[in-house]
Amino acid sequence: MARMESELPYDLIKEFERLNSNSEKMMGEMTKASAEFVKGEIENRTKKVFKNSNEILKGLKITKVYKTKSDDGINTKVAFYGYMTTKDGKTFKQTRKLKSGKKTNYEYEGIPIPLVVTAREYGTSSGEKKKPFIRPSFNKNKIREIMQKVQEKYLPKE
């Protein structure tokens, strides 16, 4: 039988170790940079879709970079959070029953921003037409370019 032995240069082994140790940091920066781009696109489109977008844009946030437990994926979310204040200052009260049997009262200031955004994005059964502004904000080619720029900082082309 034929037998072959080969040795990798020490420099190449060190380069692979360095890349392995920085991969999570690199992936986190890649997702963060692309999330910032998407957030900017959503802000621009929100201003076109809503007459008064200031209240809604207060709820647009980028999460921290996190790692999922199920598949060890590295993610960053762009999402709407919080509540819009109503013109008449109404608050919503809700009582929840806990497992222990105690009741707790929650008081919300206004209307949930994600509810308003979802109604505008997908339309409603009561007749509001859909006006997509989030889905078109995800330009795959531009996101890919941004991620490759970050990757080139860690893996320079020779």
**DSSP assignment of 122-152, as one string?**
H--TTSPPP---SGGG--HHHHHHHHHHHHH
Q: How many angstroms separate the CA atoms of 103 and 16, rounded?
A: 56
Our measurement of the distance from residue 34's CA atom to the centroid of its chain's CA atoms, rounded to an integer in Å, reads 9
The per-residue pLDDT for 8 is 66
Tens of pLDDT, residue by residue over 12-63, are 677 777 777 778 888 999 999 999 999 999 999 999 999 888 889 999 999 9
The DSSP bridge pattern shows strands 74-75 and 78-80 to be unpaired
Q: Read off φ and ψ for residue 152, nearest 5 degrees.
A: -65, -25
Structure tokens at 134: 């989030």
The residues that bridge with 83 in the sheet, in sequence order, are 112
Residues 96-120: tens digit of each pLDDT: 677 777 777 666 667 889 999 999 9
Q: Is the pLDDT of residue 1 over 80?
A: no
Considering the entire predicted model, what is its pTM?
0.74
* Most confident range, picked from 5-14, 34-43, 67-76, 148-157: 34-43
- 95 band by pLDDT with thresholds 50, 70 and 90: low
Dist. CA 9–CA 6, nearest whole Å: 10
The residue with tokens 């049997």 is 101
Residue indicated by tokens 């806990």: 98
Is 70 exceeded by the pLDDT of residue 142? yes
CA distance 11 to 108: 59
Handedness of CA 102, 96, 61, 70 (dihedral sign): positive
pLDDT value of residue 103: 73
